[in-house]
Amino acid sequence: MSEREQALKRAGDLLTGADYTVAGVRALLGPVAGGALARDEIVPALRATGGGSPLETLTRLLWIQEPVPAGALAGAADLVAAGLAAESGGELRPLLRVEPLESVTGAGHAGYAVSDLKVRPGSGERVRPDHVVGVGGASGSLARLVVHSPVDNVLDLGTGCGVQALHVADPAVRPRPAALTATDVNPRALRLAGMSFALSGLDGVELLEGSLLEPVRGRRFDLIVSNPPFVVAPGDGERYVYRESGMAGDEFCRRLVVGAQEMLTEQGYCQLLANWLHVDGVPWEERVGAWASESGCEAWIVQRDVQDPAEYAELWLRDSVETGTPEYRRRYARWLADFERQGVTGVGFGWITLRRTGVADPAVRVEELRHPVEQPVGAYVDRVVDGLAAAQEFSTSCAQLLRTAAGVVQEQIGAPGAEDPERILLRQTGRLGRAAGVHSVEAALAGVCDGTIPLEPLVGAIAQLMGLDAAEVRAHAAAVLPELVADGFFEVVPDAL
Ligand SMILES: C[S@@+](CC[C@H](N)C(=O)[O-])C[C@H]1O[C@@H](n2cnc3c(N)ncnc32)[C@H](O)[C@@H]1O
């Protein structure tokens, strides 16, 4: 182990010993200072960390990014030797940002992510083109999306500060994978990711420099995770590598999707965040659905948000702290002109989950879900994809065993006092929180499907009870059940498949 790595290990012990964790810092700051800091306002956080305890000092230095008195911290020498801080004039100054990570299960500490210092609005500083970004909202979204099942061999593509690899290695989620590979096109990112892993005690991560899938061509992984440089920016030569690939439009995400299959083991997952263009006259679902079909994998693609061209340009100019700079108007206008030229009417933000499978016609679902869903999605994303695959194969053969999914409830809507409801809804109280308007036949099925009795006798009994024709009830069930299976209201009991 090099001297730097040894110092990073000691620095990691210093940080955990001081409870420099998300829970520790959250309790220290409280909701008001914590909320202000999330808006890049540091004054409340400075007031909340003035007591001089090790946790307060570390929070000031490594999170708020303020100098602290050099004598305030036993172990300061380790931070300096680790390359995280510099000492001069009696002060300790941060050189890098160190963010604690919380397990996506909410059950404790998941390591430390080392990134470049955050450039805050009003500081007068510029974001450097090779800036290594810290843990953002997108990092958290992807970490919460990643499937929880055990995996041996994982690729974190575009690792940046290493946050995804650290989450994948979190033993509160799954046993630590035997092999972890992290790639990035930015050598500076690989250096900082290496520091994150050393500080977090995560040994043996393979770090490879290169673009897209190139550094790992010919290899296969059980899981590929990527929070890629998905930002669609004008190709005017000014590029931030942490968010822009340099490829035109949404080409980077498309290439990753269509190239994933040959890098996955059987039943392996590739999960990424993406932005996709809404192009005038082309339904977005068709454009992105074509990527999924070309991938040859089962695919679940979810649009979580859409922004119009102006909102999009403003968002990313704010992100790179360019709002209010002399170049702002020029850059903003360039962005709009570029979108106009391509017929772009908006940009979608979303999740892509692919699963490699041997089937000839894999299930593909492209949909919009804008409402809050149960988190972490990774705890049940495999069931979502299972549901899509089961619906694709669903045979109306009534030998099938169905089970009403956990958390499904029935709601009835109608005039007060009325004997019969006007509408019946099945609603998921957890997971994706879907609701479906149903006929009384499906509602009755939801009441009795427990995975033990095949569909045929259940349909017969329901028809008899409701005074309906059994053949009609069977035909109705056959028409509506696949969609309800795909949506996760019913699950096909695996042995029956
Ligand atoms: C949005 S950051 C994500 C960082 C981190 N994985 C996370 O989840 O926060 C995208 C990362 O992709 C890297 N990157 C940019 N272009 C790339 C390319 N062509 N191939 C691989 N990685 C690239 C950037 O250097 C950056 O670290």
192-238 pLDDT tens trace: 999 999 999 999 999 999 999 999 999 999 999 999 999 999 987 77
Per-residue model confidence as pLDDT tens digits over 320-363: 999 989 999 999 999 999 999 999 999 999 999 999 998 999 99
Q: Would you call 470 helix, strand, or coil by DSSP?
A: helix
- Dist. CA 165–CA 205, nearest whole Å: 9
Nearest atom of ligand 1 to the alpha carbon of 229 = 10
State residue 389's pLDDT score: 94
Indicate if 479 and 371 belong to the same structural domain.
no
Nearest to 431 by CA among 470, 496, 489, 367: 489
The pTM score is 0.96
Answer whether 189 contacts ligand 1 (Cβ < 6 A): yes
- Dist. CA 84–CA 112, nearest whole Å: 12
Long-range Cβ contact pairs of 215-219 (< 8 A, separation 24 or more): 215/183, 216/155, 216/181, 216/183, 216/263, 219/263
Indicate if 150 and 297 belong to the same structural domain.
yes
* Residue with CA nearest ligand 1 atom 6: 159
Answer whether 131 contacts ligand 1 (Cβ < 6 A): no
* Mutation pick for ligand 1 pocket among 192, 225, 245, 320 (CB with most ligand atoms within 8 Å): 245
Which amino acid does the sequence have at 227?
Answer: N
- Dist. CA 309–CA 307, nearest whole Å: 6
Mean pLDDT of the chain: 95
Nearest atom of ligand 1 to the alpha carbon of 214 = 20
Indicate if 379 and 398 belong to the same structural domain.
no
State residue 165's pLDDT score: 98
The reply to whether 102 falls in a domain is no
C-alpha triplet 62, 14, 202: angle, nearest 5° = 90
Whichever domain contains 454, its CATH number is: 1.10.10
The reply to whether 100 falls in a domain is no
Per-residue model confidence as pLDDT tens digits over 359-382: 999 999 999 999 999 999 999 999
Q: Are the CB atoms for 144 and 254 separated by under 8 Å?
A: no
State residue 417's pLDDT score: 87
The reply to whether 104 falls in a domain is no
* Residue with CA nearest ligand 1 atom 9: 139
- Taking CA atoms, 322 is separated from 122, 265, 273, in Å, by 10, 43, 24
Nearest to 132 by CA among 145, 146, 119: 119
* Residue with CA nearest ligand 1 atom 13: 158
Asked whether residue 497 carries a pLDDT value surpassing 80, the answer given is no
Answer whether 114 contacts ligand 1 (Cβ < 6 A): no
Which amino acid does the sequence have at 131?
Answer: H
State residue 495's pLDDT score: 64
Q: Of 344, 361, 389, which one is at a domain's C-terminal end?
A: 389
Indicate if 323 and 216 belong to the same structural domain.
yes
- The span from the first CA to the last CA of the chain, in angstroms, equals 52
Specify the number of domains making up the chain: 3
E strands, 48-117, are: 68-69, 85-88, 91-94, 97-102, 109-115
The reply to whether 103 falls in a domain is no
Q: Of 63, 95, 127, which one is at a domain's C-terminal end?
A: 95
Indicate if 24 and 169 belong to the same structural domain.
no
Q: Are the CB atoms for 59 and 29 separated by under 8 Å?
A: yes
- Dist. CA 119–CA 103, nearest whole Å: 26
Q: How far is the CA of 481 from the centre of ligand 1 (A)?
A: 41
- Dist. CA 25–CA 407, nearest whole Å: 34
Q: How far is the CA of 470 from the centre of ligand 1 (A)?
A: 57
Q: Are the CB atoms for 207 and 252 separated by under 8 Å?
A: no
Provide the residue range defining the domain that includes 47.
3-95
Per-residue model confidence as pLDDT tens digits over 115-135: 999 999 988 899 999 999 999
Per-residue model confidence as pLDDT tens digits over 71-88: 999 999 999 999 999 999
Answer whether 227 contacts ligand 1 (Cβ < 6 A): yes
Per-residue model confidence as pLDDT tens digits over 382-396: 999 999 999 988 765
Per-residue model confidence as pLDDT tens digits over 13-67: 999 999 999 999 999 999 999 999 999 999 999 999 999 999 999 999 999 999 9
63 secondary structure, DSSP code: I
Answer whether 185 contacts ligand 1 (Cβ < 6 A): yes
Q: Are the CB atoms for 441 and 473 separated by under 8 Å?
A: yes
Indicate if 18 and 78 belong to the same structural domain.
yes
Q: How far is the CA of 84 from the centre of ligand 1 (A)?
A: 22
| Residues with Cβ within 8 Å of residue 298, at least 6 apart in sequence | 354, 355, 356, 357, 359, 362, 363, 364, 385, 388, 389
The reply to whether 399 falls in a domain is yes
* Mutation pick for ligand 1 pocket among 112, 114, 118, 133 (CB with most ligand atoms within 8 Å): 133
Number of residues in the chain: 497
* Mutation pick for ligand 1 pocket among 184, 190, 196, 208 (CB with most ligand atoms within 8 Å): 184
Indicate if 408 and 466 belong to the same structural domain.
yes
Answer whether 168 contacts ligand 1 (Cβ < 6 A): no
- Dist. CA 392–CA 295, nearest whole Å: 17
C-alpha triplet 53, 56, 58: angle, nearest 5° = 105
Cross-strand pairs, 79: none
* Residue with CA nearest ligand 1 atom 24: 242
Indicate if 184 and 78 belong to the same structural domain.
no
The H-assigned helical ranges of 327-450 are 328-341, 381-393, 440-448
Q: How far is the CA of 250 from the centre of ligand 1 (A)?
A: 14
